[in-house]
């Protein structure tokens, strides 16, 4: 990787920062955040502005350019990558290190008195604006919204905003019609006494209307906003996508409907002016509900007294609790996904000893097997296919420069998943194609014990996921080991592979309680820099648990694994397992054999079936 040469670009940016064509008054600093106007985790190429101006294309980072300086804040995952990708014009600000200043502190230290700091108000979330603005103001500076994105003005070959065709999902996939979702939403709005709800997150728009898209890689979403009133529905979306007869039919655009279900389609770019019109027409006590992470631009469109902001929207919370159609879809998707992985692992077992399988080849082969399955759409994230020391790089993605060949001497870690029309998968297995060392088995077994501790946990209704995080670490902690990431995240149903409002992490306390029907990942790991990485990940469904007693009638919950892929037995040191843990593994493998075996049989995949049968023999403690 050679760094991107940014001298000329920075010169241009500094010019437009002073140009009356774009800014009312010159700005002495310009902030380029990572995100898009919807606070998406994955963004479209046209939104990769920070990567364009700096060369650094990791998933997290904020660039700030002043007349003299250019600085990039990113976290520990990306220190090396950012240093490689950026030229000498840039200073790397290593977040999380003691001596690294915050963006605010750094700005205050370098800016001349009474400076203006510009930012695109559509890209910065309202809560971040507030914090940054307050800090700057108390030091005598001003944070100002710059309407036109200054990067876009100098990005001559900026890709177009994608505008791909939509997929309509019928009731057999979604379980609930968009009309019923609107009714439920309006009842939540009535409960909170709000008159309007603004849908800004792309997966929330997609979920609400039972539509999917492919504007952003890995995430089946499309660029749109929606504004739901008690009697109106406005959908802000571009292109000729609304010309598609299937979409028109799905949204009943040409039917005579009760007025409160009539969807008004409007241009994507008109959201701000429409919302300002809504804001201007409000009477006292009329409120508009927005996510507190919505952009500053949209939040400001509603006068402060009329805003109702929450960290999680009612759609986010409703979307997280899967109904039976969604759950059944997720089950089907996971069965197909397991078939593909059984094929892959059987194939790897034969091919790896030949020395011809690289990380990229293995990742491609995984995609090939997945793509043979019914209703396959695309991958759900960039496959992490890593062997030996690359396995210790938690967010590794093989590229030609790092591509390593799998061998019988190294641990192989595969974290991968797909979007099927009936569900989203995300699974990690760690394998050895030769003979693992006693130490590797020991570490793997601690990780497995942590995985089981979460998966088999029984906990009261109302428990938040972060309270389960330590269960995943206890066996590692006992030996002085640990891993530096959370244990689980919410998973969408043919939607984003990471979604709120639930998760299992020591870091999050703002998560919503786990409820039956929620789906999260369970993925403890252990990583040894320069040597290997281990992670065992299943996607699990929250289900009611039967317990001997029932304190305060609260009821209990537990998890049911949706992922049904064998956990490699040669990596397990059986004697480190308790009898209960051993039984868990055997029950799990028995279920893999039954459910996936039947599907392999049905698909005529006999060799993979033999592999599955061998890999699901019961463990015996000695």
- Interface contacts to a second copy, rule CB under 8 A: 138, 305, 457-460, 467-471, 474, 476-482, 506, 509, 545, 547-552, 554, 556, 578
* Nearest distance, CB of residue 106 and a second copy, angstroms: 17
d(CA 121, CA 255): 38
For a second copy, the closer of residues 378 and 442 by Cβ is: 442
Question: Residue 460 Cβ, how far from a second copy at the closest point, in Å?
Answer: 5
Closest approach, Cβ 484 to a second copy, in A, equals 8
Smallest gap from residue 582 Cβ to a second copy (A) = 14
- Min. distance of Cβ 587 from a second copy in angstroms? 17
Task: Name the residue nearer to a second copy (CB basis): 464 or 593.
Answer: 464
Left if phi > 0, otherwise alpha if psi is -120 to 50, otherwise beta: which for 61? left
- Least CB distance to a second copy at residue 605 (A): 39
Q: Residue for token digits 């603005």?
A: 133
Closest separation between CB of residue 433 and a second copy, Å? 25
Nearer to a second copy, 99 or 258 (CB): 99
| Residue 413, beta-bridge partner list | 386, 430
| Shorter beta-carbon distance to a second copy: residue 121 or 436 | 436
Whether the bond between 285 and the residue before it is cis, its omega within 30 degrees of 0, is no
The full DSSP string for 313-372 is: -HHHHHHHS--HHHHHHHHHHHHHHHHHHHHHHHHHHHHGGGT--BHHHHHHHHHHHHHT
Q: Over 204-263, what HEC string results?
A: HHHHHHCEECCCECCECCCCEEEEEECCCEEEEECHHHHHCHHHHHHCCCCCCCCHHHCE
Q: Dihedral (C-alpha) 96, 99, 103, 106: value to the nearest 10 degrees?
A: -170
Give Cβ neighbours of residue 428 (< 8 Å, ≥ 6 apart): 384, 413, 414, 415, 416, 523, 525, 535, 536, 537
Q: Which is nearer to a second copy, 5 or 305 (CB)?
A: 305
Minimum CB separation from a second copy for residue 585, in Å?
19
> Between β-strands 233-237 and 263-266, what pairing exists: parallel, antiparallel or unpaired?
parallel
Please provide the size of the chain in residues. Answer: 622
Nearer CB in complex with a second copy: 20/480: 480
Q: Which is nearer to a second copy, 261 or 506 (CB)?
A: 506
> Cβ closer to a second copy: 110 or 467?
467
How many Å apart are CA 204 and CA 38, to the nearest integer? Answer: 10
CB of 354 or CB of 548, closer to a second copy? 548
Backbone angles phi, psi at 112, to 5 degrees: -70, 155
Q: How far is the CB of 435 from a second copy (least distance, A)?
A: 22
The 3-state secondary structure of 466-507, one letter per residue? HHHHHHHHHHHHHCCCCCCCCCEEECCCCCCCCEEEEEECCC
| Closer Cβ to a second copy, 326 or 522, answer by number | 522
Nearest to a second copy of 259, 551 (CB atom)? 551
Shorter beta-carbon distance to a second copy: residue 108 or 158? 108
H/E stretch holding 64 = strand 62-66
Q: Which of 424, 425, 268, 406 is nearest to 348 (CA)?
A: 406
**CB 285 to a second copy: min, Å:** 11
Cβ 61 vs Cβ 72: under 8 Å: yes
Q: How far is the CB of 547 from a second copy (least distance, A)?
A: 3
Task: Report the nearest approach of a second copy to the CB of residue 535 (Å).
Answer: 15
Of the candidates 527, 615, 566, 571, the one whose C-alpha atom is nearest the C-alpha of residue 432 is 571
* 3-state percent helix, strand, coil for the chain, nearest multiple of 5: 40, 20, 40
Report long-range pairs for 238-246 (Cβ below 8 Å, ≥24 apart): 238/161, 238/163, 238/267, 238/268, 238/269, 239/163, 241/163, 241/164, 241/165, 241/166, 241/213, 244/165, 244/166, 246/168
């Amino acid at each position: 990787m050679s760094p991107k040469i940014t001298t000329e670009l920075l010169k241009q940016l500094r010019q437009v920062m002073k140009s009356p064509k774009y800014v009312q008054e010159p700005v002495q600093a310009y902030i380029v955040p990572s995100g898009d106007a919807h606070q998406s985790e994955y963004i479209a190429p046209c939104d990769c502005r920070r990567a364009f101006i700096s060369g650094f294309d990791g998933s997290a980072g904020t660039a700030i350019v002043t007349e003299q300086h250019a600085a990039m804040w990113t976290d520990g995952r990306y220190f090396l990558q950012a240093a490689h990708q950026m030229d000498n014009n840039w200073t790397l600000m290593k977040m999380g290190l003691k001596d690294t200043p915050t963006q605010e502190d750094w700005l205050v230290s370098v800016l001349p008195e009474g400076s203006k700091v510009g930012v695109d108000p559509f890209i910065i979330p309202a809560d971040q604006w507030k914090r940054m603005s307050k800090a700057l103001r108390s030091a005598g500076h001003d944070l100002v919204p710059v309407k036109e994105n200054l990067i876009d003005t100098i990005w001559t070959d900026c890709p177009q905003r994608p505008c791909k065709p939509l997929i309509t999902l019928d009731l057999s996939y979604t379980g609930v019609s968009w009309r019923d979702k609107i009714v439920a939403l309006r009842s939540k709005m009535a409960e909170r006494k709000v008159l309007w709800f603004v849908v800004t997150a792309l997966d929330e728009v997609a979920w609400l209307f039972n539509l999917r898209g492919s504007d952003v890689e890995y995430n089946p979403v499309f660029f749109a906003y929606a504004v739901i009133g008690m009697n109106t529905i406005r959908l802000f979306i571009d292109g000729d996508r609304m010309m598609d007869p299937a979409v028109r039919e799905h949204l009943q655009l040409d039917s005579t409907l009760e007025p409160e279900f009539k969807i008004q389609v409007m241009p994507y770019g008109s959201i701000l002016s429409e919302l300002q019109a809504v804001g201007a027409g409000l009477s006292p006590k009329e409120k508009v509900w927005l996510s507190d992470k919505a952009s500053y631009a949209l939040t400001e469109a509603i006068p402060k007294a009329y805003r109702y902001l929450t960290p999680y929207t009612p759609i986010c919370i409703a979307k997280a609790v899967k109904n039976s159609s969604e759950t059944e879809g997720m089950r089907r998707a996971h069965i197909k996904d397991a078939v593909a992985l059984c094929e892959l692992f059987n194939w790897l077992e034969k091919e790896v000893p030949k020395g011809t399988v690289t990380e990229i080849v293995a990742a491609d082969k995984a995609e090939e097997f997945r793509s043979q399955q019914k209703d396959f759409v695309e991958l759900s994230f960039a496959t992490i296919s890593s062997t030996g020391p690359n396995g210790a790089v938690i967010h590794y993605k093989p590229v030609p420069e790092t591509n390593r060949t799998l061998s019988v001497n190294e641990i192989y870690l595969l974290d991968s998943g797909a979007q099927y029309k009936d569900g989203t998968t995300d699974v990690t297995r760690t394998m050895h194609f030769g003979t693992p060392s006693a130490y590797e088995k020991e570490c793997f077994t601690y990780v497995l014990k942590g995985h089981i501790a979460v998966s088999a946990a029984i906990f009261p209704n109302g428990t938040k996921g972060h309270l389960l995080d330590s269960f995943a670490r206890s066996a590692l902690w006992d030996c002085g080991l640990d891993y530096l990431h959370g244990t689980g995240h919410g998973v969408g149903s043919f939607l984003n592979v990471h979604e709120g409002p639930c998760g299992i992490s020591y870091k999050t306390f703002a998560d919503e309680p786990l409820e039956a029907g929620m789906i999260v990942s369970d993925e403890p790991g252990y990583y040894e820099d320069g040597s290997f990485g281990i992670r065992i990940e299943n996607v699990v469904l929250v289900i009611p648990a039967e317990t001997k007693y029932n304190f305060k009638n609260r009821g209990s919950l537990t998890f049911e694994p949706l992922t049904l892929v064998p956990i490699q037995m040669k990596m397990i040191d059986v004697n480190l397992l308790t009898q209960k843990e051993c039984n868990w593994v055997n029950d799990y493998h028995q279920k893999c054999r039954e459910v996936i075996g039947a599907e392999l049989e049905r698909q005529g995949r006999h060799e993979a079936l033999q592999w599955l049968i061998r890999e699901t023999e019961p463990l015996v403690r000695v």
